[in-house]
Amino acid sequence: MKKLILLAIAGIVVLLLVVFGSGLFDLYRLQQYVTASAEAYQADGGAWPHVTDVCMGCHGVKGNSLNQGYPSLAAQPAPYVAAQLHNFASGQRANPAMGPLAMALSEAEIKLLSDHFSKQTASENRFFEPDSRLRARGEQLVAGGSCVACHGARLIGHDQFPRLAGQGYDYILEQLNAFAAGARTESSGTMKSIATAMSTEDREAIANYLASLNPGKK
């Protein structure tokens, strides 16, 4: 009798595996994926939530923005990110969203954010299609303006100078216009002088060119 019961149970198990085996395996794989993701998240900055999580909505996963109007933070030099957060917090650089956020950050959190984004890999701006005429003009202006002297040979930034390659078109153009109008400043005054000397079309051309550059391409 016991053997019959055991055989019946074994038969039911086999039947369940035949009917639901694929689904159970998929469930197992999902559970493994969730576990691995949770462990990776924990290793990347401790328990939930991370300070960096709040940045994701505008600046994208790991700092690679999908919106032309929001800057990508991935691979931005840590000193530059830290300086801009301090500028937002002090009101030297005005932004209705970033101002309050920066003011709420401690020095330790600013360092954490700066270091975190500086270590991320910058992605190509895949959602921008440059105007070929403006891009060519922008390339000439960038070369003639010696932008590489401050922003590096590949325009990926260093120290206090930001990465320009692959940034959002709308963001770059907005910043050039802000420097030209005096709405954004920096200590040397160089960017105001450069932006003021440009025509509106020149600024559009430079934004076209910079947005089209692949920051990961050597």
The count of structural domains within the chain is 2
End-to-end CA distance of the chain: 75
Which residue range(s) make up the domain with 123?
A: 54-212
Q: What is the pLDDT of residue 5?
A: 67
State whether 142 and 208 are in the same domain. yes
Rounded to the nearest integer, the mean pLDDT of the chain is: 87
Is 31 found in the same domain as 61? no
What tens digit of pLDDT does each residue of 173-205 get? 999 999 999 999 999 999 999 999 999 999 999
Q: Tell me the whole-structure pTM to 2 decimals.
A: 0.79
**Is the same domain home to 65 and 166?**
yes
CA angle, residues 112, 113, 115, in degrees to nearest 5: 65
Quick one: pLDDT at residue 37?
45
Please check whether residue 179 lies inside any domain of the structure. yes
- Tell me what pLDDT residue 159 has: 95
- Which residue would you say has higher pLDDT here, 217 or 4? 217
Extract the tokens encoding 46: 């401790």
* C-alpha atoms less than 13 angstroms from C-alpha of 21 in its C-beta half-sphere: 7
* Residue 49 within a domain: no
Tens of pLDDT along 115-139?
999 999 999 999 999 999 999 999 9
User: Is 190 domain-assigned?
Assistant: yes
Angstrom distance (rounded) from CA 34 to CA 28:
10
Rounded percentage of the chain residues whose pLDDT exceeds 90: 73
Question: 51, 109 in Cβ contact below 8 A?
Answer: yes
- Asked if residue 37 and residue 63 are part of one domain, the reply reads no
Query: pLDDT at position 217, please?
Result: 79
Are 113 and 164 in the same domain?
Answer: yes
Residues 119 and 202 in one domain: yes
Are 128 and 37 found together in one domain?
A: no
pLDDT digits (tens, 9 = 90+) for 69-115: 999 999 999 999 999 999 999 999 999 999 999 999 999 999 999 99
